[in-house]
Amino acid sequence: MSRRLRILGPVLLALLVVVPSAAARAETPLEGRVVVLDPGHNGGNWTHPGAIAHEVWAGTHYKPCDTFGARTANDYREAAHNWDVALRLRELLRAQGARVVMTRSSNRGVGPCITERTAIGNRVRADAVLSIHADGAPDDDLRGFHVIVPARVSGQSARMVSRSNALGTAIRDALRDHGPTPVSNYQGTDGIVARADLGGLNLSTVPKVFSEIGNMASRHDAPIIESPAGRQQEAEALAIGLVRFLTGRRV
Ligand SMILES: [Zn+2]
């Protein structure tokens, strides 16, 4: 090996390691991005009603720390759905290079409160936070997905609201084009609704939306929510929406 090569060799090697190729960047478009996934509720909430009912400040008013979540006629619980979809989505996002932070570590615990869930996204300065839910509307004919974006409340920044609206649009488009359920026939306009009553949005300083994949009380939506294939399709659609928001690229 020539003297020049001996010197340049390690430098070239370091460059190869440090600077990812265009192909590698295309495969991991979320490199360096932080995504917080917030699987709504928790599997143990039912067993600790007192702790769950404890009121916390939600930015505009006091409300319970958390809630039990919805369930299907077969008693499939929303908390289980939310956790399963979060695991599937985490895998998809990690494969694309993202750092993924979860707001709970299993489906066997209680809480955390909506305030702590939101603080997690704020603390890590997430590039995007997605709160994963399924709805519990009373009428069987009500069905389909909707995305909840923040309304501008006192103390909330215009930038957070506008970035969240962009995130909400990307998630809505992806669910509409790739998701397992149709656009909601009962909530919001074209699958998007702005709300001022959710601490998870009011207290967030980073872009954040809620995804409600369908109505667990609907005979049309429940089988989709209960099926692993339906939840995988949901996770894949949500990943497409997040990549689109974080990279500006249509995938
Ligand atoms: Zn929920």
Going from the Cα of 42 to the center of ligand 1, the distance in angstroms, rounded, reads: 10
What pLDDT, on a 0 to 100 scale, did the predictor assign at position 11? 55
Side chain identity, residue 52: I
**Rounded alpha-carbon distances, angstroms, from residue 116 to 102, 167, 199:** 12, 22, 10
Going from the Cα of 240 to the center of ligand 1, the distance in angstroms, rounded, reads: 22
> Which residue do the tokens 């497409």 mark?
240
What pLDDT, on a 0 to 100 scale, did the predictor assign at position 24? 64
By CB neighbour count within 10 A (0-12 exposed, 13-18 middle, 19+ buried), where does 70 fall?
buried
Q: Which two tokens stand for residue 134?
A: 């399924």
What pLDDT, on a 0 to 100 scale, did the predictor assign at position 2? 56
Residue 97 CA to residue 40 CA, distance in Å, equals 24
What pLDDT, on a 0 to 100 scale, did the predictor assign at position 27? 84
Compute the CA torsion angle 70, 72, 75, 77 (nearest 10 deg). Answer: -40
Residues of the chain short of pLDDT 70, as ranges, are 1-25, 250-251
Going from the Cα of 199 to the center of ligand 1, the distance in angstroms, rounded, reads: 13
Going from the Cα of 78 to the center of ligand 1, the distance in angstroms, rounded, reads: 7
Residues with catalytic annotation?
Answer: 212
Kindly report the backbone phi and psi dihedral angles of residue 139, in degrees, each rounded to the nearest multiple of 5, phi listed first: -95, 130
> Which residue do the tokens 């490199």 mark?
31
What pLDDT, on a 0 to 100 scale, did the predictor assign at position 104? 98
Residues with Cβ within 8 Å of residue 47, at least 6 apart in sequence: 110
Going from the Cα of 98 to the center of ligand 1, the distance in angstroms, rounded, reads: 25
Which segments within 60-119 are labelled E, that is strand?
62-64, 99-102
84 in Cβ contact with 41 (< 8 Å) = no
Going from the Cα of 8 to the center of ligand 1, the distance in angstroms, rounded, reads: 57
What pLDDT, on a 0 to 100 scale, did the predictor assign at position 139? 87
Nearest residue to 237 via CA among 111, 105, 145, 125: 145
